[in-house]
Amino acid sequence: MDDRTNEAALALKQFGIGQPVPRTEDPTLVRGQGRYTDDVALPGQAYAAIVRSTHAHGIIRAIDTQAARAMPGVLGIYLTADLAAYGPLKCALPLKNRDGSPLRYLPRPALVGDKVRFVGDPVACVVAESLQQAKDAAEAVALDIEPLPAVTLASAAARNGAPQLYDNVPGNVALDYHYGNAEKTAAAFAQAAHVTRLALRNTRLVVSAMEPRAAIGIYDAAAGRWTLHSESQGVFGMKNQLMDILAAPADKVRVLTGNVGGSFGMKAAVYPEYICILHAARALGRPVKWTDERSGSFVSDHHGRDHEMTAELALDAEGKFLALRLTGFGNMGAYLAPVAPLMSTVNAVKNVASVYRTPLIEVATKCVFTNTTLVSAYRGAGRPEGNYYMERLIDTAAREMNIDRLELRRRNFVRPKEMPYDAASGMKYDSGDFPAVLKHAIEFSDWKGFAKRKRESKKRGKLRGLGLGCFLEVTAPPNKEMGGIRFEPDGSVTIITGTLDYGQGHAAPFAQVLSEKLGVPFERIRLLQGDSDELIAGGGTGGSRSITASGTAIVEASQKVIAQGRQIAAHVLEASAGDIEFAQGRFVIAGTDRAIGIMELAARLRGGLKLPDGVPTSLDVRHATEPVPSAFPNGCHVAEVEIDPQTGVVAVVKYAAVNDFGTVINPLLVDGQVHGGVVQGIGQALMENAEYDAEGQLLTGSYMDYAMPRAAVAPEFALASHPVPAKSNPLGTKGCGEAGCAGGLASVMNAIADALLERGITHIDMPASPARVWKALQDAQASHPGRG
């Protein structure tokens, strides 16, 4: 082995697949040198402010802009009529009602002029020379709105006599969704030895990304070209949405995204403000910038979750699952966000069966309009919810049937020998060892030692509970992804991808894959992801798809680089291309020591290497994959909580998780993703809840009212990996970004239920806030004075 081979082997040991490489972005971001959208300042830019409705429901009688237009610095005020040339914001999902009719799609204008439907509904856009001038003028716009009754809960909105948001949407039901065979499911329930039924509230969440939304609109009149600087989860998808709204061809729209301070699903879509500032930029002939404030983001950013479900599980006498049924409501808010109906419908179907053999699944969901902020994807987007329903059902069924909760799970696991497994959801699980993951988690969490820990808690006057949450997630649907590889003049190598890092840390793991496949030095690899002009495809980041989709794209693009490199190297080495082998970054004539490294070959090409006709003149590749299939990350999380019965305060005091993410590219980053997801799950379980009053006013409109998890809430995490590589992609990866929420919600809520059981409390909904827990304990004490 020569020195270069040794060097390559050492590099792979340090930077190859499976190594805990620190995030490449961190030195820049920690020093405050990131470039977020609000950091962009363009010559001559003006500033926009949005006028929003303070009524949840009402008829617009007049919008008086006269005083505002006369204020200093005001350049323009735009109303809905000014934006008539643009298309609406759409939800284009091809979903159908149970009777076969299409989803009741209502186009959303960027600005409303007839009727407001939620507090925060945008009615006007003010543009001025300075931000303060724009804000002052926005406050001077006088709205005359005739209030109408409001409704904020989905189930209430679907009742007879509820306020109607749209004349042509009877009962406010946008979609009456149904999946499964109702007759067979009913028969299974009728024949069951036992049926467990739970009414479960999956509360509404404010997404609370670290960075509020911002955007800059530009219009080049000479070229007829639009450019939008904005946060996104993928510029290719954002560009496609804008092309539709602006009625512009692909070469006339460009989207640029720099660093993004979190999204969790919320920043994936085009928002009304972006259309407003693009129009203003064209009307004024100068860039127009808009940056939200936290108070605005609370009411205008898409919210998460908000489902009301009755979950039912039918079992035979031995505890074998016969059928599962979900019936309930999904709150859409006042309009349909692009993917809003998916979470309580399709994604509930795909994920609720989890790791268990469940012969029949029926899901019946009404997706309902209400006078609230739009609801859309939030970390997991139906995946944590589906797993939560199943895990709460299993624990309850185990208690009702007097079967050990671990044993009930073991009896119903899909077994490794059954893979590939055709689930009743229509999914085909390709890999996994669910019984082994549970066994690993039970041992890893010291399940047997819980009784001792419970006694110690009791001595301190605390209730202690032990909860388990198994999960399986179906990642984003199959779609294409770009894998571009470009050898730059400065000797670096650029990966071009259609996914986008908004906190995940893509640069290091993507570089690890490329370094291993091409032998390119890790430190020379750069990532380009936020310029739509560079992309030929891109599914964006969401649904835990990035490493699987971009990883596949990088592997396939690397193979094309090698194929081109063989032909070029054959000329340089004066050999036949068929005799050229590639290994550890070097093209070698088989059976000899004559070779050239890939970086040296790239340098020779930059130096003007003369090549015969038919031989590629570059190593660069622009490649788009075929649709990359969904994967099935899974795991088992075990949480322990302590409850102070005097105050109702719940603390997560111990947390262990065993996950199967398939091939783990970078364990350091994977652990970070799990930490973040679990804390978000804990936040929803214990404290987060967006609440409205009867008039549709958001009661939790700031961090004074909306509780967010802080560092003190997070327990010490014990994480372990039990990988079973996926068979559906070349790297064997499964995705990890949303698993923490799925495991966290179920395990923490099951632990709380376990702790409260000794006081006779059999159910509590999220969030298990101190007030709610304390009241449940007081009510139980009043009902059974001798208990506790």
Please state, in angstroms and as integers, the Cα–Cα distance from residue 56 to each residue in 79, 299, 305, following that order.
Answer: 19, 11, 20
**Measured between alpha carbons, how far is 398 from 12 in angstroms, rounded to an integer?**
48
- State residue 598's pLDDT score: 98
As given in the structure block, the two tokens for residue 110 are 């960027």
Mean pLDDT over 176-187 rounds to: 98
Q: H or E element: which one contains 509?
A: helix 507-518
Adjacent-strand bridge partners of 194: 315
Q: What is the DSSP secondary-structure string of 565-626?
A: HHHHHHHHHTS-GGGEEEETTEEEETTSS-EEEHHHHHHHHHTT----TTS-S---EEEEPS
CA 586 to chain centre: 39
As given in the structure block, the two tokens for residue 292 are 């939200």
Nearest of 98, 365, 321, 309 to residue 188 by alpha carbon: 321
Interval 519-553: pLDDT, tens: 999 999 999 999 999 999 999 999 999 999 999 99
pLDDT for residue 268 is more than 70 = yes
pLDDT-derived band at 424 (thresholds 50, 70, 90) equals very high
Nearest-5° Cα angle at 349, 402 to 366: 105
Interval 62-91: pLDDT, tens: 999 999 999 999 999 999 999 999 999 999
As given in the structure block, the two tokens for residue 431 are 């890999």
- State residue 8's pLDDT score: 60
As given in the structure block, the two tokens for residue 581 are 């082998």
Q: Where on the phi/psi map is residue 302: left (φ > 0), alpha (ψ -120 to 50), or beta? A: beta
Beta strands in 498-585 (DSSP E): 525-528, 580-583
- State residue 390's pLDDT score: 98
Grouping H, G, I as helix, E, B as strand and the rest as coil, residue 128 is: strand
Nearest of 254, 265, 252 to residue 230 by alpha carbon: 254
Instruction: Give the dihedral sign, CA 373/374/379/383.
Output: positive
Interval 332-385: pLDDT, tens: 999 999 999 999 999 999 999 999 999 999 999 999 999 999 999 999 999 999
Beta strands in 188-303 (DSSP E): 194-205, 214-220, 225-230, 253-256, 288-291
**Measured between alpha carbons, how far is 693 from 164 in angstroms, rounded to an integer?**
18
pLDDT for residue 584 is more than 80 = yes
**Measured between alpha carbons, how far is 245 from 248 in angstroms, rounded to an integer?**
8
pLDDT for residue 787 is more than 70 = no
**Measured between alpha carbons, how far is 185 from 92 in angstroms, rounded to an integer?**
30
386 in Cβ contact with 351 (< 8 Å) = yes
**Measured between alpha carbons, how far is 387 from 748 in angstroms, rounded to an integer?**
13
Mean of all residue pLDDT scores within the chain:
96
CA 595 to chain centre: 46
Helix axis angle for 383-401 and 405-412, nearest 10°, is 120
Length of the chain as a residue count? 788
Adjacent-strand bridge partners of 767: none
pLDDT-derived band at 785 (thresholds 50, 70, 90) equals confident
**Measured between alpha carbons, how far is 481 from 666 in angstroms, rounded to an integer?**
21
Nearest of 508, 615, 502, 494 to residue 557 by alpha carbon: 494
pLDDT for residue 2 is more than 70 = no
Q: H or E element: which one contains 461?
A: none
Interval 317-345: pLDDT, tens: 999 999 999 999 999 999 999 999 999 99
- 698 HSE (CA, 13 A, CB side): 31
- State residue 783's pLDDT score: 82
pLDDT for residue 1 is more than 50 = no
Nearest of 487, 562, 475, 481 to residue 517 by alpha carbon: 562
**Measured between alpha carbons, how far is 176 from 96 in angstroms, rounded to an integer?**
8
**Measured between alpha carbons, how far is 379 from 397 in angstroms, rounded to an integer?**
28
Q: What is the DSSP secondary-structure string of 624-687?
A: EPSPBPP---EEEEEEEEEE-TTT--EEEEEEEEEEE-BS-S-HHHHHHHHHHHHHHHHHHHHT
Q: Is the preceding peptide bond at 272 cis, omega within 30 degrees of 0?
A: no
Please state, in angstroms and as integers, the Cα–Cα distance from residue 722 to each residue in 444, 446, 553, 615, following that order.
Answer: 11, 17, 25, 46
Nearest-5° Cα angle at 650, 647 to 653: 135
Percent of the chain topping pLDDT 90: 96
Residue type, 532: S
Residue type, 466: L
Interval 589-611: pLDDT, tens: 999 999 999 999 999 999 999 99
Grouping H, G, I as helix, E, B as strand and the rest as coil, residue 467 is: strand
pLDDT for residue 5 is more than 60 = no
pTM for the structure as a whole: 0.95
- State residue 13's pLDDT score: 72
